[in-house]
Structure 1
Amino acid sequence: MKLPNFIVAGFPKCGSTSLYYYLYEHPEIFLPKQKELHYFTYDIIKKQDAGKNDKAVKRFHYGSLKEYKKLYKEAKNEKAVGDVSPSYANYPSVIPKIKDTLGNDTKVIITLRDPIKRAYSNYLHLVREGRESLPFYEALLAEETRREQQYSDFWYYTFNSLYAEKIKQIKANFDNVLIITFEEFVRDQEKGIREIYNFLEVSESFIPENLDTQFNPGGVYEANTITKFIFGQNKLKTLIKKTVPLTSTLKQIKIKTINKYKKPTPGIDQRSEAFLVEIFKEDVKRLKEFGVKTQYWNEKLTE
């Protein structure tokens, strides 16, 4: 039975959902029908359930190797077999488990994004789901308390945007690491996807039909029955997700539906931006040693 020879390790809200659907289409790549398995971080994140609906979200995570292997039983002769779980990069302590299970030659893809925009997108995601009720600045101040109370790590807006030390540890343990930024990828998606294909050693001639689709669009939406069902957690949605895999086509239908109710996204307030610049500025400087291109990020982070 095949197991992954590559992982998309992180970070959350950096384009991993869209990347999953792009890679899923490639005939030489195998991905399970479910994204975000979180097998290697399961023992860490299973304890984080104090936030609103945290337990419901974790129904789709896999804690046993037997369950994990079952997800790959349909893999055949594909050159690349993957696991897209953006929690992995946040916890370097799971690196030994990854190496023991998948091997030292596992390829690692890391997706990054302007840390301020990533944090705000993370916040808006929880607002859309009806889970986050605090204004952004207050939510940032609440992060330390929420971590102590064992909220899910998806509530850790700044933690999820601190990249440098985590990348350093990944690169120290794996020889094959590709770092891509969300901003560069969306500016030339065909070039970006070919770079990933080259890294995975699969045919670069294949271009997915859905390449122009953003599969996990952010923003703010009108609150009504439809958007509450799509973004919220409920028993019917859980049943559907367990029995009907969310294919690329179904995901596109979902996006078209919710886009009817999209509202202008409010900008980040100046107080929150200044707060985050102070937190992230030194971390962004450290990314230069890994060759990360940050020219499209908030200029206050690179001054």
Structure 2
Amino acid sequence: MKPNFLVIGAQRAGTTWLYECLREHPEIFLPETKELHYFDLNHEKGDEWYFQHFEGASEKAIGEITPNYYQYPGAIEKAHALLPEAKFIFILREPKARAISQFALFKEKWGLTSIEQALQEKPEFADLSLQGKHLQRISSIVPKENLLVLFYEDLASNPLSFLSSVYRFLGVREVGSPSFLNKRVNKVLMPKAQQTLRNIGLGKLLDALKESKLAEPIKRAIGKFDSPQKQQVNLPDSFLRDLEEDINRIEQSLNVDLKHWN
């Protein structure tokens, strides 16, 4: 069986939450592994390897979620060539907040100490935030009727309505609220402390804690006073100008007003 929809991004824009919610829908199939990375990192494994992840699926909507596809060179082109009838879902997030959230993840993973270091040492950091640039390219490849563009802020303010938009796009029926509806997933856990814990050899303990039942209460508690937006992370002026130009691209592509993003 072949997938008929892909969630392609953006990173740090609720794709893990969406994965958990969609998995509970009786008419939607998603693989056990959230991110297959076939069209970016694993393409050499071949189509047979990819399709094995969907064997036995008989649901109306069959898909996968890899939030790197929107940014990775050639990924959308490969996906559309293999799955020409597939639908694509792209969630956009206000770029400054998205970049700050990405930095918190990069800080955890790579031990980066500043936005400037991230911009210098990880070229993908800036490119991941240029969602408008990628949206324009994706829109030139995927037919308009097969591309759904959503906004992270709508997910945050009304998750049930956000999900309903996805259900309608995929052609599946409305269902009751999934158990993950009001849960926050993939928040960086203990962002100020975890690099120190890893440095002193407690990385495995930290990873185990993230997978335990204690992770969700800790995330909620931390979120009250230590969210990325409240850490007063300053973005360089040149990067801010790039983000502002990219917002203009989104406005032009979707014919929307995003002045509140600026």
Q: Would the TM-score normalized by the shorter structure come out above 0.5?
A: yes
Q: CA deviation at 1:275?
A: 3.2
Code of the aligned partner of 2:52: K
Q: CA deviation at 1:228?
A: 4.7
Report the identity percentage. Answer: 27
Native 8 Å contact 1:105 1:174 kept in 2: no
Distance of 2:25 and 2:180 partners within structure 1: 11
Native 8 Å contact 1:79 1:202 kept in 2: yes
- Counterpart of 1:23 in structure 2 is 22
Native 8 Å contact 2:108 2:195 kept in 1: no
1:138 aligns with 2:129: no
Distance of 1:261 and 1:281 partners within structure 2: 30
Native 8 Å contact 1:26 1:206 kept in 2: no
Q: From 50, 61, 72, give the equivalent of 1:80.
A: 61
Distance of 1:12 and 1:32 partners within structure 2: 19
Corresponding residue SS for 1:105: coil
Q: From 77, 88, 97, give the equivalent of 1:108.
A: 88
Q: From 169, 175, 181, give the equivalent of 2:137.
A: 169
Q: CA deviation at 1:193?
A: 0.5
Code of the aligned partner of 2:89: I
Question: Residue by residue, what CA displacement relative to the aligned partner does 1:76-116 show, whole Å, maximum 9, x if unpaired?
Answer: 2x1101110011111352334213322x2210000111111
- Counterpart of 1:71 in structure 2 is 53
Code of the aligned partner of 2:141: N
Do the aligned partners of residues 9 and 233 (structure 1) sit closer, same or farther apart at CA in structure 2, a change above 3 Å counting? farther
Distance of 1:194 and 1:287 partners within structure 2: 23
Q: CA deviation at 1:227?
A: 6.9
Question: Residue by residue, what CA displacement relative to the aligned partner does 1:46-95 show, whole Å, maximum 9, x if unpaired?
Answer: xxxxxxxxxxxxxxxx833333222112412x110111001111135233
Q: From 210, 216, 220, give the equivalent of 1:255.
A: 216
Q: CA deviation at 1:297?
A: 5.0
1:286 aligns with 2:249: yes
Distance of 2:173 and 2:214 partners within structure 1: 28
Native 8 Å contact 2:136 2:249 kept in 1: no
Native 8 Å contact 1:120 1:268 kept in 2: yes
**Unaligned 5+ runs, structure 1:** 45-61, 148-155, 241-245
- Counterpart of 2:101 in structure 1 is 121
Native 8 Å contact 1:41 1:91 kept in 2: yes
1:274 aligns with 2:237: yes
Native 8 Å contact 1:181 1:293 kept in 2: no
Native 8 Å contact 2:108 2:194 kept in 1: no
Native 8 Å contact 2:104 2:191 kept in 1: no
TM-score (norm 1): 0.73
1:94 aligns with 2:59: no
Q: CA deviation at 1:282?
A: 1.3
Do the aligned partners of residues 204 and 296 (structure 1) sit closer, same or farther apart at CA in structure 2, a change above 3 Å counting? farther
**Unaligned 5+ runs, structure 2:** none
Code of the aligned partner of 1:182: Y
